[in-house]
Amino acid sequence: MDASIAGRQQREIYAQGMSGITPLIPTDFYQLESKAKKVLSKKAYAYIAGGAGLQNTIQNNLSAFSKVKIRPKMLKDSSQCDMSIELLGKKRTSPVLLCPIGVLELAHPGADIAVGKAAASLGVPFIFSSQASEPMEKVSQSMASGSRWFQLYWSKSDDLVKSFVERAERCQCEAIVVTLDTTLLGWRPYDLNLGYLPFLEAKGIGQYMPDPVFNKLVDDGSYLPPAGKTKVNLHTLLTLLRMNYRYEGSFFKNLVSGRALRGVRTFTNVYSNPALSWKEIAKLKKMTDLPIFLKGIHHPDDVSIAVSEGVNGIIVSNHGGRQVDGAIGIASTLPEIAEIADQKLTIIADSGVRSGADVFKALALGANAVCIGRPYAYGLAIGGETGVRDVILHILAELELTMRLTGCRNIDEIDNSMISIDH
């Protein structure tokens, strides 16, 4: 990669501008989101953009970042800038990861494969979702040696959890990220008002369909929920056709045997476990030697327990405001969390990161690395693999410029002396 990502990005964009060509991928989040909205279906946009309830947590994430003010230092010779960090004992070219996002096929047919390739090409780790559209084996293969982690929703079946973890190990995932905040699906009016849940069309269940343990559960019917009441009309038939088409295997066999419907119904009942507790984290430690990250932690009390339980790290996150409405913005929680963690945990910040300046702020607030979410899903919607790559490059370019213009020559120099917080 070029020594200066920012320099190359600016040169390329302004040079194209001389021929009247503007970037396919808008370079700021707001235009990125509005362009993506135009290419996404109404349902896909609702699923990706929507948050819980009155959308207050999404707002809180953004306003928490905007309350953090950067205080640039001058005359520090910023002719060089090193954005690399060490994470899980490996040197990474930047402090950025791609968070797990389910059902990426809603954004683009390239889905997880396109994202994996873009991430690998820039040395950015990609956290595979439990709700991915494509199975981890296929995505890993397309990423060659690119860094990947696996995000786990703890299923009602421990056997299924074990199977997912073993597959992640075989796929050379570097860590298991257990998402704790989605033991139940949040109240999401954008989706509810359209009556739309992609899983019911067999979308976003790419990890499950080829899994031997999941298939056993489908066969034995042990997790088949009671049938709900659905009015049968033309729309129902279309949904069923889509489900049978999308489900693994032959369309006609799925339709005749009823297997797709059985699989989807089993999935809705088994994918997450509301009884999840610290006991399962202890179980996971016995199941695998991979480093364990807990995603969704943002209460200080939970950070203390995570330290005493000896997990490797936490992803400080409110799931992008999709679960609890009115939750605290992540940037507001980071200083206290960093103090409690006291370097005993790796802290990754997630939720509401929209720019390179936000990455800078999260690092200054005490995070060791930062997850990018919706921005890359929008890049995927507009431009597939190239779109994701450009979104990452734009964020890294702005991070680099923010560092150099504030006198930070490496990530360690981004400390809390670089910011002040409005209260």
Where in 130-159 is the site for ligand FNR (CB under 6 A)?
130-131, 151
Q: Is 351 in the site for ligand FNR (CB under 6 A)?
A: yes
Give yes or no for residue 246 binding ligand FNR (CB under 6 A).
no
Binding segment for ligand FNR (CB under 6 A), chosen from 2-10, 70-78, 155-163, 319-327, is 319-327
Report the distance separating Cα 10 and Cα 393, nearest Å. 11
Tokens 């009016």 sit at which residue? Answer: 189
Query: What are the backbone dihedrals phi and psi of residue 122, each rounded to the nearest 5 degrees, phi first?
Result: -115, 10
Residue 319 binds to ligand FNR (criterion: CB under 6 A): yes
Distance CA 224, CA 186 (A): 22
Beta strand 292-297 with 419-421 is unpaired
Please state, in angstroms and rounded to a whole number, the distance separating the CA atoms of residues 315 and 298.
Answer: 8
Binder of ligand FNR out of 35, 108, 246, 295 (CB under 6 A): 295
Q: Are 399 and 359 in contact (CB under 8 A)?
A: yes
**Complex with ligand FNR: residue 81 or 168, whichever CB lies closer:** 168
Residue among 129 and 332 whose Cβ is closer to ligand FNR: 129
Q: Is residue 361 at the binding interface for ligand FNR, with CB under 6 A as the rule?
A: no
Amino acid 289 reads D
Closest by CA to 104, choosing from 78, 130, 122, 125, is 130
According to DSSP H, which parts of 177-233 are helical? 189-192, 212-220
Question: Of 184-192, 213-221, 229-237, 344-352, which segment contacts ligand FNR by CB under 6 A?
Answer: 344-352
Binding residue for ligand FNR (CB under 6 A) from 129, 272, 332, 402?
129
* Residue 359 contacts ligand FNR per CB under 6 A: no
- CA 139, CA 126: separation in Å to the nearest integer? 10
> Which lies closer to ligand FNR via its Cβ, residue 129 or residue 244?
129
Q: Please count the residues of this chain forming the interface with ligand FNR, following the rule CB under 6 A.
A: 22
State which amino acid sits at residue 341.
Answer: A
Q: Are strands 369-372 and 148-152 parallel, antiparallel or unpaired?
A: unpaired
CB of residue 125 to ligand FNR, shortest distance in Å: 13
> In the window 371-390, what residues touch ligand FNR (CB under 6 A)?
373-374
108, 298, 299, 319: which one is catalytic? 319
One-letter amino acid of 77: D
Residues 48-87 as x/- pattern, contact with ligand FNR by CB under 6 A:
x---------------------------------------
272 scored as a contact of ligand FNR (CB under 6 A): no
Q: Which residue's CB is nearer to ligand FNR, number 266 or number 323?
A: 323
Q: What are the b/e assignments for 135-154, b being 16+ CB within 10 Å?
A: bbebbbebbeebbbbbbbbb
Among 31-39, 99-107, 109-117, 276-284, which window interacts with ligand FNR (CB under 6 A)? 99-107
Binding status of residue 333 toward ligand FNR by CB under 6 A: no
How far, CA to CA in Å, does 317 sit from each of 65, 153, 241, 302, 384? 13, 15, 37, 13, 26
Applying CB under 6 A, which part among 24-32, 96-104, 134-142, 399-407 lies near ligand FNR? 96-104
Q: 138 with 111: CB under 8 angstroms?
A: no
Q: Is 319 a catalytic residue?
A: yes
**What tokens were used for 164?**
């997912």
**Residues classed as catalytic:** 319
**Applying CB under 6 A, which residues contact ligand FNR?**
47-48, 99-102, 129-131, 151, 179, 295, 317, 319-320, 322, 350-353, 373-374
